[in-house]
Structure 1
């Protein structure tokens, strides 16, 4: 965080400053800001967030022991550290992030990129950050820090020397993207796709589309909107962007795209295509697995172009990326059995894309194994979408379908109903049972995909399998 006095922070937050020890209102704070007491370092600011399971106010002491010099709280705690008492620490966190970014913008040339979409946000964020980091100091979220806590915490890592801030925006409901993106008013916004991820929480896919469009409404007037024109719901956001005097860059696989990919090929060593940028036809050879990542790469190249970085330069930097993110199409295992751990998240679109990748990259005669868990937050579409994935796995001729957990049982039943009934599909109650089964079932040469929503936790099963067969 930039250097601010305790008095300045209290003023920004509209809170009551309670000083401790030798601190004065003019004492300067410039450390990291976080809600996790385990991430405190000397000079840090601890935000005591109340939670459903525990309360951050209980951990002020441990935060101070690790070096925190200020606590932002909703009620006074013991007097071991200076505190600012506010009505709502989450609102205070947002207010502080907004102020810090505004001050850095006012003093320098900070440019902000905002990303949203039902799938691909974190991968695209990593792609964009990789391109930008060679241009200057770049701040981007760790993992998927894209909610009411993670997004402001990321923003607060900005300093006076930061050139680029890349923000990822998830949506917990209507208005959430507008609130978060409104803190920074991005110069460049990227909308990747509108799918069924979290659709149950929004009340349907059209409401999801409205939520994603909030990013455009929160962008700086006259900026750039990077839109996936292969997705009709995203393409339909063009008039909204144009009403805000924004330049629109469409990316996709069709001839209508401003930035287009052709000749896409997927193999066990990566993904290749030709990127058409104006009159240029540029080869792209990604180490990242999966045809679906071509769209994410196009979005990153387009966003970089909006910031003045040539497509050829962006492509050269993308080619150095080895994996999209931990637990996202992450190759594991060894020469005997190859594991692809893609179990950080799973919407129906992402699940289908991962299964198609498994089928595409398998060598002739190589046995494919899909270890699948539940997809969460689908609302009324839950049963139908699990059915669809079960059918797809069979139709892609995945030789072994291992379904884990009671919430995914319908996927298993759909696979059996489609013809995978002679031992090709099995249903196991939990990760331990699945690990035991797979330890005996997998054989030399197998190619294994592990895929589920985060809540199903199969990423840890993927780690165990990767270590076991390394």
Structure 2
């Protein structure tokens, strides 16, 4: 396998000095994730210093270290490792001939990023690259760039933010040929005056577009025109997607079945009939966004359609797990990674389409700002509309929702994820469809583990 980086290339990119020659096949900044042949980047943070874990990284097979102080073992010495990681990402982006896609949005960006990778990898096996996990911040983005093999044909990079100005910096590192905003909704609302301010922050992704680049915008969003205005100074083309027939890429019709949703879509250059494997109306919209990006990037639409049919849910983002109970099985839908009002409504609507008794294990939605209580209480209507038979509410922030559900839906309210994990198994019966969703900081992944392991 061709080396990802030589020590000489690392030193040249970072203005560093190599202690001796070595080659790196990967890049990592978390010592627990270091594998054989990796470059370990010893970052200094507020809580810890990566230089403390150099020995561990080398013992796990790291071929070298990016360090800001001399260490025992092969290394490239730089003045600041965070700046050096940025520089390595910039060098990786500069040397690639890949079509590069940037993805952001309040809801769905990780799922859409994974779907795009599946679409590109199906057409060019082994030559598509994407951000792993949710590495979408000021450290994760340059790391994902630095990990991109030089022979990559399609690169997909997720970018997140919780303050204005963050996306502007990230997109200038990524320099996408195609930039997508999946949707704008109330997420990290504690840091923004309103949704319009969030739309403005999401619109920063267009500032890094390469000349001739394309902006992909959700037509059905109330902030569509605001996003178009943000894209216009930077994009050679602006493409909209959505359910409305006026969108450039839209669904003519869709029929749900046991193997997914059969969709007939109108694109700019073609019509395509395909199946969306994951359930839920929101996945039809996600699929339209994927096709809009693939078309703009010059990818293979037929391969993209096949990839959408084969998609499986990700842990924490729609993975479907069978719970084995003494008298039968139940379905567990793991949406435990994150939540905001828009994603809660979408996944509750999806739960409503499942067979059997519906059980919703819902954690608090964090960082919603001064209207937090109202946003939680407003979930009562979609819970009732989904036909939820039992709701397990997790977190003190869910008290307004508990009050709103009185007399409408049976519920149990517990203070934290540990209490939820202790009770959840006793509340589930064979044939149930169980949704677990909440902000990641609530810790509902532990509830998923308790149910799946039980």
TM-score (norm 1): 0.88
What CA distance in whole angstroms lies between the structure 1 residues aligned with 2:76 and 2:91? 19
Q: Show the counterpart of 2:337.
A: 344
3-state SS of 2:173 partner: coil
Whether 1:420 aligns to 2:420 is no
What CA distance in whole angstroms lies between the structure 2 residues aligned with 1:272 and 1:204? 36
Q: Show the counterpart of 2:354.
A: 362
Whether 1:219 aligns to 2:220 is no
- Assess if the C-alpha contact under 8 Å between 1:268 and 1:362 holds in 2: no
1:132 to 120, 125, 128: 120
Q: May I ask how many residue pairs the two structures share in their alignment?
A: 447
Q: Show the counterpart of 2:288.
A: 298
Distance 1:394 1:150, change over 3 A: same
Q: Show the counterpart of 1:9.
A: 10
Whether 1:150 aligns to 2:140 is yes
- Superposed displacement of residue 4, structure 1: 4.8
What CA distance in whole angstroms lies between the structure 1 residues aligned with 2:90 and 2:253? 43
Whether 1:93 aligns to 2:85 is yes
- Superposed displacement of residue 9, structure 1: 2.8
Q: Show the counterpart of 2:272.
A: 282
- Superposed displacement of residue 308, structure 1: 2.2
What CA distance in whole angstroms lies between the structure 2 residues aligned with 1:127 and 1:340? 18
- Assess if the C-alpha contact under 8 Å between 1:102 and 1:184 holds in 2: no
- Superposed displacement of residue 72, structure 1: 2.4
Q: Show the counterpart of 1:462.
A: 448
1:124-164 deviations in whole A, cap 9, x for unaligned? 11111111113320111122111112211111122221111
- Superposed displacement of residue 282, structure 1: 3.4
1:157-191 deviations in whole A, cap 9, x for unaligned? 22221111100100132221121121131011111
Q: Show the counterpart of 1:332.
A: 321
What CA distance in whole angstroms lies between the structure 2 residues aligned with 1:93 and 1:377? 29
- Assess if the C-alpha contact under 8 Å between 1:3 and 1:30 holds in 2: yes
1:449 to 430, 435, 440: 435
Distance 1:446 1:285, change over 3 A: same
3-state SS of 1:327 partner: coil
What CA distance in whole angstroms lies between the structure 1 residues aligned with 2:399 and 2:7? 54
Q: Show the counterpart of 1:254.
A: 244
Q: Show the counterpart of 2:425.
A: 439
1:30 to 18, 24, 27: 24
Distance 1:414 1:54, change over 3 A: farther
Q: Show the counterpart of 1:53.
A: 47
- Superposed displacement of residue 111, structure 1: 0.9
Instruction: Note the 1:152-231 alignment, pairs <5 A.
Output: 152-231=142-221
1:252-304 deviations in whole A, cap 9, x for unaligned? 01111111114344566533332122585533322212111111111111111
- Assess if the C-alpha contact under 8 Å between 1:265 and 1:291 holds in 2: no
Q: Show the counterpart of 1:102.
A: 94
Distance 1:220 1:202, change over 3 A: same
Structure 1: gaps (5+ residues): none
1:344-400 deviations in whole A, cap 9, x for unaligned? 1111100111111111x133xx32111100111112232121111134313443111
Distance 1:70 1:204, change over 3 A: farther
Distance 1:430 1:184, change over 3 A: closer
TM-score (norm 2): 0.91
Query: After the TM superposition, which of the residue ranges 284-293 and 48-57 deviates more from structure 2?
Result: 48-57
- Assess if the C-alpha contact under 8 Å between 1:117 and 1:191 holds in 2: yes
Structure 2: gaps (5+ residues): none
CA RMSD of aligned residues (A): 2.3
- Assess if the C-alpha contact under 8 Å between 1:341 and 1:463 holds in 2: no
Q: After the TM superposition, which parts of structure 1 deviate over 4 Å for at least 4 consecutive aligned residues? A: 1-5, 265-269, 278-281
